[in-house]
Amino acid sequence: MTDTSMTVTVIGLGPMGRAMAGAYLDRGYEVTVWNRTPARADSLIARGAHRATSVAEALTANTLVVVSLTGYDAVHAVLGQAPSAALTGRTVVNLTSDTQDQVRRAATWLAELGAVQVTGGVLTPPPGIGTPGAMSYYSGPLEAIETHRRALEVLTGIDYLGEDPGLAALFYQIGIDMFWTGLLAYLHGQALAEANGISAQEFLPRALNAMDLRYFLEFYAPRIDAGNHAGDVDTLTMGAASLEHVVRTAQASGVDVSLPTAALDLFRRGIAAGHGGNSLTSLLGILRKGVGQGVDK
In CATH, what number is assigned to the domain containing residue 14?
A: 3.40.50.720
CA distance 108 to 166: 11
- Residue 294 domain-assigned (yes or no): no
DSSP tag of 117: E
CA distance 154 to 289: 41
Residue at a domain's end among 136, 164, 192:
164
Q: Give the pLDDT of residue 3.
A: 81
Q: What are phi and psi of 148, to 5 degrees?
A: -110, 20
- Whether residues 68 and 112 fall in one domain: yes
- Whether residues 223 and 82 fall in one domain: no
- Residue 36 domain-assigned (yes or no): yes
Q: Write down the pTM of the prediction.
A: 0.91
Task: Work out the angle between the directed axes of helices 236-253 and 166-195 (0-180°, nearest 10).
Answer: 50
pLDDT tens track, the chain, 297 positions: 678 789 999 999 999 999 999 999 999 999 999 999 999 999 999 999 999 999 999 999 999 999 999 999 999 999 999 999 999 999 999 999 999 999 999 999 999 999 999 999 999 999 999 999 999 999 999 999 999 999 999 999 999 999 999 999 999 999 999 999 999 999 999 999 999 999 999 999 999 999 999 999 999 999 999 999 999 999 999 999 999 999 999 999 999 999 999 999 999 999 999 999 999 999 999 999 864 444 444
Identify the H or E element spanning 262. Answer: helix 258-270
- Whether residues 36 and 115 fall in one domain: yes
Q: 238 burial class (0-12, 13-18, 19+ CB within 10 angstroms)?
A: middle
Q: Give the pLDDT of residue 67.
A: 98
- Residue 2 domain-assigned (yes or no): no
Residue at a domain's end among 123, 142, 164:
164
Q: Give the pLDDT of residue 249.
A: 98
- Structural domain including 211 reads 171-289
- Residue 297 domain-assigned (yes or no): no
Helix ranges (DSSP H) in 98-227: 100-112, 142-147, 149-155, 166-195, 200-210, 214-225
Distances (CA, A) of 118 to 28, 99, 135, 143, 166: 23, 15, 15, 10, 10
- Whether residues 183 and 160 fall in one domain: no
- Whether residues 139 and 187 fall in one domain: no
Q: Give the pLDDT of residue 175.
A: 97
Do residues 151 and 95 touch, judged by C-beta distance below 8 A? no
CA distance 91 to 142: 12
Q: Give the pLDDT of residue 290.
A: 67
Question: How many domains does the chain divide into?
Answer: 2
- Whether residues 93 and 226 fall in one domain: no
DSSP tag of 271: I
